[in-house]
Structure 1
Amino acid sequence: MIDLGPLHFLRPAWLLALLVLPVAAWWLRHRAARGDDWQRAIDPHLLPHLLEPGTGTRRRGVAVAAALAFAVATIALAGPAWRQTDAPAWQAREPLVVAVDLSSATLAADLAPTRLAQLRARLTRLLQTHRDGPIALVAFADDAFTVAPLTDDAANVALFVDALEPSVMPVDGQSPARAIAWSRRLIERGGFAHGRIVLITDHADAQARRAAADARAAGDVVSAIGLGSPAGANVRTPGGGVVGVALDERSLRALADAGGGDYARLSLTGADDAVFASAATRGAGAGRGRDGGRTWADEGARLLPLVVLLALIVLVRRPRIAAAVLVFALLPRPSLAADLWLRPDQRAHRAVDRGIEQYRRGDYAGAAATFARADTADAHYDRGNALAKAGKLEDAVSAYDEALKRAPGMPDAVANRRAVLAALKRREGGRDGQQGNKGDASKSSQQSRNCAPGDANCQTKPQTPRQPQTGKASQPSQAQPPKPADASKQAQADAAQRARMQKAIRDAQAKAAKSATARMTPAQRERRLSDDAALMRVPDEPGNLLREKFRLEYERRQMGGSPP
């Protein structure tokens, strides 16, 4: 970057193109000198009849305009800048797992009104401002449990903040070591090599410090936030006893040192923000705040109107150059040219994306045509769905067959193909019934009146007898408009057809789920039924959901399930 006081050039290498101007000026001067030879060889009184007047002046004007346009365009490409703007902050993708203490100690009132209230307020503020990557929430007492796994949607995690209280934990106590181990497992399950763990509690024992050191050796960073005050307070335990709890900052600092992280006391004013922020984000914002710093704004686009004006002066005088510019403007756009270099799988992916957008807009025919450009199992399955929505059931079956050729046993394709075949058979049966009753209009009308909309065995689309035409409507080129009664019957028939299609799809999906259940072992089936029954008894409230979820997980661990 070239610094000329208030003026900067972000891409100064483009300024080397200005060296073309002296060369062009020398060539034009040499060409003009050749024109002077005519003046020396021809008598002056004959020159007005042989040379076009004003030609040299016009040429010099066009040359000057072209040179100015070239110079201004070159300066624009060099990136002139004379003001600074805020640069967006770099966002880290390092995962963050926040492990909060939900033991009975959080009911202590050494932080007004209680530690728990202060903890909820701090978590709410964190989830509203967190932008440094995926975040997860872990609650621990004597054991650790997942409140929310790693997710980029911090608002989804915030749904459970108000439900955090000691009563949701199946067992009381404090085991920060288990919280660290469970947080590391969440990071591994999320597919990350390493991450950050922030422990919010009032003390850490030797076992917790060893767990933090192990996490640091694995590439994770463990930090700590102190919950409470050194003065402490008394709190009643679930067993009815009264114990004193206090903040032990020395042990938490030792835990943070062992985990390679930071320590701070819980603060609602943002004094502990550095503990939650990643090291990359803290380094990027050092000395420049959290805005990511300032950068020079490229103002080259402001010169384009002047370039266009000078170019118009040149094009008016040079029709050949104008034609060349027009041809260049009509060339394919760069995005279309870039498509030529796409791999087949990339073209298929783009076709599927366009087809999905058309499907969502209700353009099923267009979506089917777009899906046909991708020769993958998913694309053929999506094409079958679009064709079924468009009413082309035979083509839909063929599309599902193509999907099954490329992915044998695809459950969704098998279920939808079975449903479409059932609907196709019913539709063909309805057509046969209509052909058999074509000559009996009264019988067909009576059958239509007796059909219920949801009856799959009843023909709801009778053949409508042709009405006699009189007057102007009797002309051969005009058709009799349908009567309101016929339109109502047609609407009822369409509704019944849609109901039968939906019922067939539900039956096919239920059959597929039943077959999947049949493949389970007795132990797996019993566990699934037990979990489903337990969850059915849970009211739709986050606190009760967490309580039952933690209880089931704790019982499974006690019976020899996966340990934290």
Structure 2
Amino acid sequence: MAEGRVMGGLILLRPWWLLALPVIAALAVVLWRRRARLGDWERVVRPEMMAALRRLGHVEAGRRGARGLWAMAAAGLVVLGLSGPATQRREAAAFANLDGVILVLDASPSMTGAEAWGQMLTAGRAAISGLGARPAALVVVAGDAYHGAELSADHRELAQTWQLVGPGTVPDKGSRPWLGLEKAGEVLREARLVSADVVLFSDGGGLGPEALEAAAALVRAGARVSVVAPEGVPPAEVLARAGGGEVFSPREGVALGAFLAEAGRTRLERADYPLLFLADHGRYLLLLALLPLLAGFRRRLA
């Protein structure tokens, strides 16, 4: 696990390197105070002769001190680079095979015929909008479960497919949400995801022992199960508790989107993948440190 300190929008991966900056600053102050001195020559040579030597170009006051200051500037940049200044890159494509979301939509007649069906679809669109770079898949279930959309980072296509689900989408009558959770487990295994969020959209029908068993299997596979259901549905709360997730009402689509936006990052950080979310810019500072070094080594051509 990487250690770091947050400074505004900047994260320092190795902040202990900053302890060297006061030492470099002290050395720079000493060199600055000595920049115009020429050692013991200023004590033994008369001021008039020293001034004449300077006019003739035989003495360049402060050249050694200036070179030292350039070296201190380079050292400061090196220390800053070694401290690991980094920024978050939540949209990086590197997460595609690590963390995903599987939406399981109950499209049984009791769901599609209810007044809350439109709110369910709206909550789903909010969930999709909060996915960021996380790939997502859709499983549609009623009497049986089917892949509605394969795991992909193409959220636009997923949203279009989501909006098309309605009465008659699943020809098998009934309400067997555990089959949808089992299908989500298949997606999880086939994609070899390190972690995942499974979100079940249900009215509570069929959330019995089979669903709890399927949720437990998902947890063992590294997933977390949340439920979107109307308020006051005890089976939904029991299932979410067993799956380690949360319960959202159909009106809490924005909260669901925010939950999914942060959930993947938190889970991967706990799994020791934090650096995948950070872009270390220290190497650019190391390259920049070459400039004061070049300035310190420049030579007079004439």
Q: For the superposition of Structure 1 and Structure 2, which TM-score range results when normalised by the shorter chain?
A: 0.5 to 0.7
Aligned with 1:252 (options 211, 220, 236) = 236
Q: Deviations over 1:305-353 (max 9, x none)?
A: xx87xx59x95xx426x9xxxxxxxxxxxxxxxxxxxxxxxxxxxxxxx
1:97 Cα deviation after fit: 0.5
Q: Deviations over 1:12-67 (max 9, x none)?
A: 424534566658988996x6425866x59xxxxxx97xx84546995224345434
Identity %: 20
Runs of at least 5 residues in structure 1 that lack an aligned partner in the other structure: 3-8, 41-46, 81-85, 231-248, 285-296, 323-564
In the alignment of these two chains, the number of paired residues is 258
Given the alignment of the two structures, is residue 110 of structure 1 paired with residue 115 of structure 2, yes or no?
yes
| Gap change, CA 1:250 and 1:57, over 3 Å in 2 | farther
Given the alignment of the two structures, is residue 11 of structure 1 paired with residue 21 of structure 2, yes or no?
no
Question: Equivalents in 1 of 2:227, 2:218: separation in Å?
Answer: 14
What residue identity is the alignment partner of 2:187? L
Instruction: Tell me what 2:246 maps to.
Output: 262
Given the alignment of the two structures, is residue 223 of structure 1 paired with residue 223 of structure 2, yes or no?
no
1:181 Cα deviation after fit: 0.5
* Cα RMSD after superposing both structures: 4.5
Q: Deviations over 1:431-455 (max 9, x none)?
A: xxxxxxxxxxxxxxxxxxxxxxxxx
On the 8 A contact 2:127/2:254 being kept in 1, the answer is no
1:207 Cα deviation after fit: 1.4
1:270 Cα deviation after fit: 1.3
Give SS of 1:271's match. helix
Question: Equivalents in 2 of 1:278, 1:96: separation in Å?
Answer: 12
What residue identity is the alignment partner of 1:11? L
- Aligned pairs for 1:506-545 (under 5 A) are none
Instruction: Tell me what 1:240 maps to.
Output: none
Comparing both structures, which one devotes a greater share of its residues to strand?
2
On the 8 A contact 2:100/2:264 being kept in 1, the answer is no
1:281 Cα deviation after fit: 3.5
Question: Equivalents in 1 of 2:201, 2:41: separation in Å?
Answer: 88
What residue identity is the alignment partner of 2:132? R
On the 8 A contact 1:11/1:77 being kept in 2, the answer is no
Question: Equivalents in 2 of 1:177, 1:101: separation in Å?
Answer: 10
1:147 Cα deviation after fit: 0.8
Question: Equivalents in 1 of 2:258, 2:25: separation in Å?
Answer: 50
Instruction: Tell me what 2:9 maps to.
Output: none
| Gap change, CA 1:33 and 1:277, over 3 Å in 2 | closer
What residue identity is the alignment partner of 1:172? K
1:229 Cα deviation after fit: 5.8
Give SS of 1:319's match. coil
Question: Equivalents in 1 of 2:90, 2:196: separation in Å?
Answer: 17
Larger Rg: 1
- Aligned pairs for 1:24-423 (under 5 A) are 32-33=39-40, 52=53, 54=55, 58-79=59-80, 88=88, 90=90, 93-111=98-116, 115=117, 117-203=118-204, 204-226=207-229, 228=230, 249-267=233-251, 269-273=253-257, 276-277=260-261, 279-281=263-265, 311=295, 315=298, 318-319=299-300
| Gap change, CA 1:20 and 1:272, over 3 Å in 2 | closer
Question: Equivalents in 1 of 2:237, 2:259: separation in Å?
Answer: 12
| Gap change, CA 1:210 and 1:61, over 3 Å in 2 | closer
What residue identity is the alignment partner of 2:300? P
1:171 Cα deviation after fit: 1.0
Higher relative contact order (CA 8 A, sep 6+): 2
